[in-house]
Amino acid sequence: MQQYFLNQKLHLNLEVELTNEILHHLKTVLRSNDGYEFCLVDVSHQAFLAELFNGHAKIIKKLAVDCELDIDVTVILSLIKNERFDFCLQKLTELGVKRIVPLMAHRSIIKVKDEEKKLSRYQKIVTEAAEQSRRLYVPKIEAFAKIDDLEKYKSDYNYVAYEKNFDKQIDYRLIDRAFTYVIGPEGGFEEYEIAKLLAMGFKTMSLGKRILRAETAAIYVMANLGGNQR
The answer to whether residue 104 forms part of the interface with ligand SAM (CB under 6 A) is no
Residue nearer to ligand SAM on the CB measure, 50 or 183: 183
Q: What's the closest the beta carbon of residue 211 comes to ligand SAM, in angstroms?
A: 5
> CB of residue 224 vs ligand SAM: minimum separation in angstroms?
12
Which region, judged by CB under 6 A, interacts with ligand SAM, from 3-11, 41-49, 149-157, 160-168? 160-168
Please give the distance of CA 141 from its chain centroid, rounded to a whole number. 7
Give yes or no for residue 137 binding ligand SAM (CB under 6 A).
no
* Closest approach of ligand SAM to the CB of residue 182, in Å: 7
Kindly tell me which of 56 and 106 has the beta carbon lying closer to ligand SAM: 106
Residue 212 touching ligand SAM (CB under 6 A): yes
Question: Please, what is the minimum distance in Å from the beta carbon of residue 108 to ligand SAM?
Answer: 11
Task: Write out the DSSP string of 183-218.
Answer: E--TT---HHHHHHHHHTT-EEE---SSPPPHHHHH
CA distance 124 to 103: 18
Nearby residues of 38 by Cβ (< 8 Å), 6 or more positions away? 1, 2, 3, 4, 26, 32, 49, 50, 52, 57
Q: Check the CA dihedral 215-220-221-223 and report its sign.
A: positive
In the complex with ligand SAM, which residue's Cβ is closer, 130 or 207?
Answer: 207
Longest dimension (CA), the chain: 61
SS3 state of residue 164: coil
* 64-103 positions binding ligand SAM, by CB under 6 A: none
Within positions 169 to 188, which residues make up the interface with ligand SAM, using CB under 6 A? 183-184, 186, 188
If one asks whether residue 161 binds ligand SAM (CB under 6 A), the answer comes out as yes
Decide the pairing of beta strands 3-5 and 47-53.
unpaired
Residues that bind ligand SAM (CB under 6 A): 161-163, 183-184, 186, 188-189, 206-208, 210-214, 217
